[in-house]
């Protein structure tokens, strides 16, 4: 990743047994404050239809610095403080390189 390049990623989060609704609510709570951050281009939550409790957050930030700034916000740090209690496995973050319009 080069500094200054738009960062696009997919974050995959799998709810621990019995924690689907709590994880969904926690992720939804991140949407509005994250979208208001100056470096956020896209922040949309999806649930995998075939595997309820598996969520994908589509994210795009103006730069690596914007992503780092997002990770230091109070709302993200609060989520990170209890995410392990909601997740069945570690968050998986996949960075994408755009190849078409």
Distance of alpha carbon 89 from alpha carbon 14, whole angstroms: 6
The residues, ordered by sequence, that sit 6+ positions from 78 with a Cβ below 8 Å of its Cβ are: none
In a domain, 101, yes or no: no
Residue 56 sits in a domain of what CATH number? 3.30.70.100
Q: For residue 67, tell me if it sits in a domain.
A: no
Instruction: Please tell me the total number of residues recorded for the chain in this structure.
Output: 101
Q: Could you tell me if residue 69 is inside a domain?
A: no
Domain of 41, in residue numbers: 1-60
Residue 18 domain-assigned? yes
Q: Tell me the pTM.
A: 0.91
Total domains, the chain: 1
Dihedral of the alpha carbons of 15, 51, 44, 93, in degrees to the nearest 10:
60
Q: Is the pLDDT of residue 71 over 60?
A: yes
Answer yes or no: is 30 within a domain: yes
Residue 4 has a pLDDT of 56
3: confidence class by pLDDT, cuts 50, 70, 90 = low
């Amino acid at each position: 990743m080069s500094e200054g390049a738009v960062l696009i990623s997919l974050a995959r989060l799998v709810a621990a047994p019995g924690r689907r609704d709590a994880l969904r609510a926690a992720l939804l709570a991140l949407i509005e404050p994250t979208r208001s951050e100056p470096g956020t281009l896209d922040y949309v939550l999806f649930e995998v239809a075939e595997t309820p409790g598996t969520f994908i957050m589509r994210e795009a930030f103006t730069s690596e610095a914007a992503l780092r700034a997002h990770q230091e916000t109070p709302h993200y740090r609060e989520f990170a403080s209890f995410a392990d209690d909601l997740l069945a496995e570690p968050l998986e973050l996949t960075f994408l390189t755009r190849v078409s319009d």
